[in-house]
Structures are given as structure tokens and as C-alpha cells.
């Protein structure tokens, strides 16, 4: 490279400049023609005398067709920056050019950086400065050009890796970066399928790619040919050994395919194989619960089998975190008699101080109006033993109160007020309920501690009034007033 030239001698932030070159075999000066991959496609003659020469110290660089190309522009201070386009494209952001760059210049910057979200915003900002008579046609033309650049750019991502640029080390990272920048395209969908379903890379990243690929199948930017091709491959892969051998990726792909309505009954039925194959794992992941629920909602014909699978899982996991998550899911289905039965069994054998138990109890007692009284004793036992840390305690208390006398419930509430965490939002509400019935010295002191800690709250005023109403000295003071 011999030097750079520009349209104007005075450089404004974001102004692009033209590196020019000389050849040992010609008297002409040349400019590069760069491809979307930022490599030199060709050298074209240029009359540099028609431009303003920019003084800049540059290192002599010899380039050939196919080499990474050079780029030059002015930074926010108007100082020339020269370097390889592929490197500067990664290290620079639109914000690096400062806040005074015009919308039209931002369009050029976004094209160079392949920042297509920023490009859309720059086009919209520039359009607002145009006369209404030309605004619509200009915007349509620019958006068409942006769409073409986006498609061309994604084919060039990772071009240093050759034709199969997402293969080899770092391929998944390059794909994820391209997907974030360009969104769904035919090529990224095809390459993403290979990475997610036909390689042995990091399982977490592969599962993430699998979900992205399947959810994008209905995108308008995907051609019918590619959609049909990937759908066929996906169905074959789901029906293969991955149902038990590649569980994380399989579950993500199956859930996404079901939601996108890409699989038929036979492939959906494979979800049952997954549930059975994984129910003895050390832990059941969130996707196990999601698949169980999806199948339950999809067809009544699977309910008996799904109930058996859930019952076996609960027997295995009991009150562990896995069992508690599953019981919370099953609590949504207690209208079904079989599910109601196994939820009740779990509750009876796992009366622990946790919100999952409370959630299951509330679901049952609200669903079984004719059998609710049979749950009251279980609920009373839990209310007495709960450690005073759960806000769901108040909901369980209210439900049980519908079936029990106040003389039974108020002592339970009093004990809870004395042992529970006073910073819980439900605490003053329960305390007020007890105060309206009776007050003793322990309760009075506990409530005073709360009102002193929250002097300006509305609940504090109410509690203080209830204390004063029950205070003999306060009553005497009132009676002594003239």
C-alpha cells in the first residue's frame, strides 16, 4: 500500500478513506475491491489525483487477490485509522466514532461493521431528515440493500476457515456470533443443524443451537426447500438413538419441534420413551417436566401412562428438590382423579416445611370440594410445624379456616406470629387477626417490636390501634379526659 486518499482534505468522524496501491508491473495506481468476507477480490485502477491526499504514516503492505483487505477511516477525533478490515470490523463499534456522526454516515459504518440492528436504526433516522415525497422510496431502497448485505455477510462469516467455516475448533462460537448478528438464514440453519445434531461438541452449546435452529424453521427468511430438508432430517434424528444417548439436545429439539408443529403423532410419542429412559437419572432436569406436561396437554390417551411415570418418579425422588419440582407441576393437574391420588400420597409422606407442599395442599383442597374436610387434619399439622419462613402459610391458613372453628385456628396463628420472621409481608396481617381476638404480654411485646421497626407504615398504625384498644392504662387515660 502506498497511501490513502479521501473525498475531502478535512476528515470528519466516520468518514471512509481509500487505501491505494502501486504495482511493479504497471504505472497505474489501484484500489481494492473487497468481498463480503473482507478479502481482496480484485484491484481496480483509480485516479488518485482526483482525491485529497491524506497524510498518514503507513507501513508498506503488499497485498494479493485473496488476501485480507485493508480499510481506512477517520476516528472520532478525525485521525486516520488504517488496518486490516477483518480485524477492525471486530474491534470497533459504532459508538467508538462518537455521538456527532450523522445518520447517513452511520449507515456506512454499520455496513462495514455488519451491525444490522444498528443499520436499521440508522436508516430510520436518516429517513426522517428527507422530504416526505422521497422518504418512502428511499427507505424501501435502503432496506432492500441492507437485506442483501445481510445475506451476503452471513455467507462470509468465518471465511478464514474456508468453505466449511463453522467446522473445527471454535466453530460453535463462530456460529453463535453469526446467529446473533444475522438471525435466521438458509445457510446458518443448515450449518446450525450440523453443529447441533451431527457433531460431538459442548452439550450445552449444542442444545442451545438445536433450540434456535428448530424455533427458526418457520421464519419468513428461510426458504421452503431448506425448511423441508431440515424438517425431514430433524424427524429422523429424533427417532434415532439420541432419545436416550443425547438427552439434553434431544429434549430441547423435541420441545421446540412440538411447539412449532413440526412433528407428527409418532415422533411426539417418542417423548414417552425419553421420560422412561431418564426417570431414574440422578436428577430430572426442567426439560423432563416440560416434556411430561406437553404430552399430558397434547393427548388424553397418554394420561394413564404419564400418571404411572410420574408416580414412579415421585417414589424415587420423594421430598428432594427434584421431587418437589415435580409435585408443583402435578398440582396443576389435580382435577384428574389419578393425579390427585398420587399428589395426596406424596403430601402425606412428605410433610416438610417448604412451599411446594403448600402449593400441592392448596391445589387439592380447592379442587376437592366434596373431600376437602379429609385434608383439614393434614393442613393443621403442617400449619403447626411450619417454621415461619413461608408466605404461602397465610394461604394455607385461610383455606383451612373455612372448615375449622376460630377457637382452633387463632391459637395456631398466635404461635406462628411469635415464631415467624417479622420481615415477611404477611406478618402484620396475621398479627392483626390475632390481636382482634386476644392479647397477652408475649404477643404485645412482639407486635411492639414490629411497629417500632416500621413506624410509618399503614399496618403499623392499625396494629398500634389494636394494642391501644386492649391496653387497660390507655383505656384509663381516655376515661380521665375532660
Instruction: Write out pLDDT tens, residues 288-304.
Output: 999 999 999 998 899 99
d(CA 73, CA 78): 9
16 shares a domain with 148:
yes
Query: What is residue 32's three-state secondary structure?
Result: strand
46 shares a domain with 24:
yes
| Closest listed residue to residue 186, CA positions, set 144, 237, 229, 250 | 229
Provide the Cα torsion 309, 313, 318, 320; round to 10°: -140
* pLDDT, position 288: 92
Is residue 14 a part of any domain in this protein?
Answer: yes
**What is the domain extent for residue 272?**
158-278
d(CA 400, CA 375): 9
212 shares a domain with 139:
no
* pLDDT, position 151: 63
* pLDDT, position 152: 63
- As given in the structure block, the three cell numbers for residue 223 are 426458504
Q: Which residue, 105, 134, 152, sits at the end of a domain?
A: 152
Task: Give 106: exposed, middle or buried? Use CB within 10 Å, 0-12, 13-18, 19+.
Answer: buried
230 shares a domain with 119:
no
Parts of the chain with a pLDDT under 50? 157-164, 472-482
pLDDT digits (tens, 9 = 90+) for 123-160: 999 999 999 889 999 998 998 888 777 766 655 544 43
- As given in the structure block, the three cell numbers for residue 270 are 417418542
147 shares a domain with 194:
no
165 shares a domain with 144:
no
145 shares a domain with 15:
yes
**In which element (H, E) is residue 33 found?**
strand 26-34
Is residue 347 a part of any domain in this protein?
Answer: no
135 shares a domain with 31:
yes
d(CA 393, CA 417): 11
Question: What are the φ/ψ torsions at residue 202 (nearest 5 degrees)?
Answer: -55, 125
Question: What are the φ/ψ torsions at residue 33 (nearest 5 degrees)?
Answer: -110, 115
201 shares a domain with 108:
no
237 shares a domain with 184:
yes
Tell me the chain's radius of gyration from C-alpha atoms: 35
122 shares a domain with 78:
yes
Query: What is residue 216's three-state secondary structure?
Result: helix
- CB atoms under 10 Å from CB of 468, counted, come to 13
* pLDDT, position 297: 92
- CB atoms under 10 Å from CB of 69, counted, come to 19
* pLDDT, position 154: 55
CB 327 within 8 A of CB 292: no
| Closest listed residue to residue 348, CA positions, set 292, 282, 340, 408 | 340
CB 120 within 8 A of CB 29: no
* pLDDT, position 234: 92
Amino acid at each position: 500500500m502506498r497511501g490513502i486518499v479521501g473525498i475531502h482534505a478535512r476528515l470528519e468522524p466516520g468518514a471512509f478513506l481509500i487505501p491505494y496501491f502501486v504495482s511493479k508491473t504497471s504505472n497505474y495506481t489501484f484500489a481494492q475491491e473487497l468481498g463480503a468476507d473482507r478479502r481482496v477480490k480484485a484491484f481496480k485502477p483509480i485516479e488518485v489525483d482526483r482525491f485529497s491526499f491524506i497524510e498518514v504514516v503507513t507501513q508498506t503492505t503488499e497485498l494479493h487477490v485473496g488476501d485480507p483487505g485493508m480499510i481506512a477511516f477517520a476516528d472520532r477525533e478525525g485521525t486516520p485509522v488504517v488496518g486490516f478490515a477483518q480485524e477492525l470490523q471486530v474491534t470497533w463499534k459504532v459508538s467508538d466514532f462518537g455521538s456527532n456522526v450523522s445518520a447517513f454516515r452511520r449507515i456506512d459504518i454499520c455496513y462495514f461493521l455488519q451491525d444490522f440492528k444498528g443499520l436499521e436504526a440508522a436508516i430510520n433516522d436518516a429517513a426522517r431528515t428527507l422530504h416526505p415525497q422521497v422518504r418512502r422510496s428511499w427507505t424501501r431502497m435502503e432496506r432492500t440493500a441492507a437485506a442483501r448485505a445481510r445475506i451476503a455477510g452471513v455467507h462470509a462469516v468465518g471465511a478464514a476457515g474456508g468453505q466449511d467455516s463453522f467446522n473445527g475448533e471454535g466453530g460453535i462460537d463462530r456460529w453463535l456470533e453469526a446467529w446473533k448478528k444475522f438471525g435466521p438464514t438458509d445457510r446458518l440453519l443448515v450449518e446450525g443443524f450440523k453443529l447441533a445434531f451431527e457433531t460431538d461438541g459442548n452439550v450445552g452449546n449444542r442444545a442451545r443451537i438445536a433450540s434456535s435452529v428448530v424455533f427458526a424453521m418457520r421464519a419468513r427468511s428461510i426458504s421452503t426447500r431448506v425448511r423441508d430438508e431440515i424438517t425431514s432430517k430433524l424427524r429422523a434424528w429424533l427417532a434415532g438413538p439420541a432419545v436416550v444417548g443425547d438427552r439434553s439436545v434431544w429434549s430441547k429439539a423435541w420441545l421446540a419441534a412440538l411447539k412449532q408443529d413440526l412433528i407428527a403423532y409418532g415422533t411426539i410419542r417418542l417423548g414417552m420413551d425419553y421420560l422412561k429412559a431418564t426417570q431414574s437419572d440422578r436428577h430430572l432436569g426442567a426439560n423432563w417436566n416440560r416434556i411430561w406436561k406437553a404430552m399430558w396437554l397434547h393427548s388424553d390417551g397418554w394420561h394413564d401412562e404419564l400418571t404411572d411415570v410420574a408416580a414412579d418418579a415421585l417414589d424415587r425422588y420423594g421430598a428432594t428438590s427434584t421431587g418437589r419440582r415435580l409435585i408443583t407441576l402435578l398440582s396443576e393437574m389435580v382435577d384428574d382423579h389419578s393425579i390427585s391420588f398420587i399428589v395426596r400420597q406424596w403430601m402425606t409422606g412428605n410433610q416438610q416445611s417448604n412451599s411446594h407442599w403448600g402449593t400441592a395442599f392448596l391445589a387439592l383442597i380447592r379442587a376437592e370440594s366434596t373431600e376437602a374436610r379429609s385434608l383439614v387434619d393434614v393442613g393443621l399439622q403442617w400449619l403447626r410445624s411450619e417454621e415461619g419462613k413461608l408466605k404461602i402459610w397465610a394461604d394455607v391458613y385461610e383455606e383451612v379456616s373455612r372448615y375449622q372453628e376460630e377457637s382452633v385456628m387463632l391459637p395456631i396463628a398466635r404461635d406462628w406470629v411469635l415464631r415467624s420472621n417479622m420481615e415477611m409481608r404477611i406478618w402484620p396481617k396475621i398479627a392483626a387477626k390475632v390481636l382482634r381476638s386476644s392479647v397477652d404480654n408475649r404477643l404485645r411485646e412482639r407486635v411492639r417490636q414490629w411497629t417500632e421497626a416500621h413506624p410509618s407504615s399503614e399496618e403499623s398504625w392499625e396494629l398500634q390501634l389494636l394494642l391501644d384498644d386492649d391496653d387497660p392504662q390507655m383505656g384509663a387515660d381516655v376515661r380521665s379526659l375532660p
